[in-house]
Amino acid sequence: MFTEYLLVRDGLDILERFEGNPILEPIPGNSWESRCVFNCASVYDGGKVHIVYRAQGDDNISRLGYAASSDGFKIDERLPEPIFSPGHEFESMGCEDPRITRIEQEYFMFYTAYGDMPQVGEVTIKADDFLNKRWNWSRRMFPFRMVNNKDVVLFPEKIKGRWVIYHRLHPHIWVSYSEDLLHWKDSNIVMMPRGSSWEKLKLGAGAPPIKTRRGWLFIYHSVDEAKVYRLGLALVALDDPEIIIYRSREPILEPETEFERVGDVPNVVFTCGAVLKNDRLFVYYGGADKVICVATQKLDKLLP
């Protein structure tokens, strides 16, 4: 079972919204992304931020699109066609909420395969193919087949000789381990909802953990009884993913602006990706399940 240490002092600075938000919006002329674009993975590679985002159009089916930014704010490139679409019976209603982690020369993408129930989908792609926009995805895998599960984030390196993921079995965040990045076992709860009203109903993993000198920086989402989604921050022991050495007492981002409060689903900020660029953390998030925004903060100001 997990161990959690709650520090008494909470001296963190919250995330600062980019004044040019939202950075990505629906395109009415593109049928696959005409209604909403939101919840996106992000990776920093080759001098730019690569954004793989969820989109819905006229048919309400979720597909994944691609955009890129050189400075982390302004979108320099956006492809007109989806780069990943439903291709299995488990995905009849779409592919949702991607999270991407680079392991050596491959990118691993976990996503929610949504059909009769939400479950975990997993694919890989060679890093060279990804960076050159050759969308040669691997065969689709479903590591928790027919289990209502989602919000998977993969740690970028082994811990004690095994690969590690966090995932969400309602209402907790769980950890699981693997030797081959496909078969996962030894699951335990690592974070549970607590009495604080802003994270009372359920929790879920946000962006893949980022290694810092003080621990793995882990951003998660929380939901209160009014169904408001916020972002929290935790630090995880570098040598043990079941030890939470810090967990924020207050959210680091919550719905405040109109594009976070009004949309397809109101009062939502939801992240699937964050990158570290020049000692500043860039957190990409969906606003009200309608648009994509970014908020940043210097890394030192986020480390307790």
Task: Write out pLDDT tens, residues 92-102.
Answer: 999 999 999 99
DSSP state of 11: -
* Residue 136, number of CB atoms within 10 A of its CB: 10
CA 244 to chain centre: 19
**CATH (domain of 65):** 2.115.10.20
Q: Give the model's confidence band at 175: pLDDT under 50 very low, under 70 low, under 90 confident, else very high.
A: very high
Rounded to two decimals, the pTM is 0.95
The structural domain count of the chain equals 1
Residue numbers of the domain that contains 275: 3-302
Distance in angstroms (rounded) separating the CA atoms of residues 47 and 53: 19
Write the pLDDT tens digit of every residue in 67-120: 999 999 999 999 999 999 999 999 999 999 999 999 999 999 999 999 999 999
Residue 2: is its pLDDT beyond 60? no
What percent of the chain is predicted at pLDDT more than 90? 94
